[in-house]
Amino acid sequence: MKTPVCITATLMLVVANTTHSLGPDEFFKIPIEVVHGPVRPSTTSRWVHTLRKYGIASQHGVGTLGMLGHQQGHLVNVTNLARIPLVDYDFDREIDFDTGSSQFVISTKGCVHCSGSTHYDPATSKTFRANGRPWKVTYGDQSHAEGFLGHDIVTLDGIKVENQQLAMVTKESVGFDDIVDGIMGLAFGSLSTGIVGTRTVFENMMKQNLVDRGIFSFYLGKVSLNGGGEVIFGGLDMSRVEHGHKITYTPVIRAKYWQINVDNIYVDGKVILGGGGIGAGKKSSDVNFEGIMDTGTTLMIVPRKLAREIHRRIKGSQELASSWAVPCDLAVQNPGSKIELEIEGKRFGIPFEDLVREETIVDEGLCYSGIQTSSAKFMIIGDVFIKNNYVVFDQENKRVGIAPLRLEKRRDQGSQRKGVAKAVATK
């Protein structure tokens, strides 16, 4: 006898538990624990992954990665189809509900060459409905994936989100992606312009009155401290905000991505933008400093000119072809130094220590930077920023809220737990 499938049991590794809510509003609070993989994905692979996701051309020796437009069926806008690992194989990348995409994409049982370890089997679900529409995406490096669309119930600890559209992967090319099971997109459903009436899981939560407030919030804990993290659907937790600070809200420029304006950028307290061009004033006419807040991106990726201006203010940084590297001992040599984004008159930081990634093969003293470059005229603000700041996504009012994160105290390495992702839903 077929039984209803709990997609989150396979995709998000849910462990059912019940806790008390943090306030008068009802919401779903989903804590995250980290699974350490044996190898940290390279900065280049994370960089390429993001450029492919946004259809941006790459010029760093791996070919042009823009979209070729080989879509089939009704899934026309496929730049939101990048698929993100749902376990942490990248140290400070937590379980990634993806605010940079809008589709719920999952690998299916029997998929040819699909990566990941847990695949969805629609045949086991009596509530699954296929709609017969195929989709296919081909990237500029000829990697591709294809499948079909359908609907099912998504369950979070017994709380059911009904009629959720799924983009199911039945076949993908070797090298299409890395360690992947699927993605839960949390951008605006309007991003998927080729599918009329597409709603994200959270938009369906709102429509089905499963949450009282149309907001969700992210805390990504650093593994170097206590690790873990949480996403809250329907509320926020002010105890995660640094004492004495409030949430600063800024409007979404266009309700597809979580795209906002960034007023100024500082390196170690010195302004790059502001008053007369990069380094001296009004913004340069060839660069648009809008930024997309993207929990599904590891790095911060910025226009080339801005990347150059940032790194030339970091002593010892070097440009390697079109990538950037910083001294591996950057934080030791510059304690307390940081990059800051100014938004609505408030500054939000990235400590220098979070710019240091894996060592390059060029110089044993050089490590790849957490800030890389692209040909686009907008910024992609990924986890290197989000893990230092509490971020609220206000879907009802189309705005993003940011506050400095209250960082947990560092604990002994030996006491750090290793486990699977856990989710706790409270209604």
Ranking 48-52, 104-108, 308-312 by mean pLDDT, the lowest is 48-52
Same domain, 307 and 201: no
- 287 vs 41: which has the higher pLDDT: 41
Q: What is the mean pLDDT of residues 142-167?
A: 82
Same domain, 297 and 181: no
Q: What pLDDT score was predicted for residue 67? A: 27
What are 315's two structure tokens? 């002593």
Query: How does pLDDT run across 252-291, given as a tens digit for each residue?
Result: 998 999 999 999 999 999 998 654 445 444 444 444 489 9
Per 3-state DSSP, the chain is made up of helix, strand and coil in percentages (nearest 5) of: 15, 35, 55
Query: How does pLDDT run across 124-153, given as a tens digit for each residue?
Result: 888 999 887 887 766 555 667 788 899 999
Length of the chain: 427
Domain assignment of residue 102, given as a range: 7-207
425 in a structural domain: no
- 177 pLDDT band, cuts 50/70/90, is low
Last residue in a domain, options 184, 207, 230: 207
% of the chain residues with pLDDT over 90? 37
- 94 pLDDT band, cuts 50/70/90, is low
Do residues 295 and 218 make contact, with C-beta atoms less than 8 angstroms apart? yes
327 in a structural domain: yes
- 287 vs 385: which has the higher pLDDT: 385
The pLDDT mean for the chain works out to: 74
Residues 236, 259: Cα–Cα separation, whole Å: 20
Q: What is the CATH number of the domain that holds 192?
A: 2.40.70.10
In angstroms, how far apart are the furthest CA atoms of the chain?
70
Same domain, 64 and 178: yes
Active site residues per annotation: 98, 294
397 SS3 class: coil
- Is residue 165 over pLDDT 60? yes
Contacts of 388 (CB under 8 A, 6+ apart): 348, 349, 350, 351, 354, 404, 405, 407
- Is residue 121 over pLDDT 90? no
Same domain, 34 and 152: yes
Do residues 390 and 218 make contact, with C-beta atoms less than 8 angstroms apart? yes
Q: What pLDDT score was predicted for residue 335? A: 92
Same domain, 318 and 178: no
249 in a structural domain: yes
Same domain, 332 and 401: yes
Same domain, 190 and 274: no
219 in a structural domain: no
Same domain, 263 and 378: yes
Domain count, the chain: 2
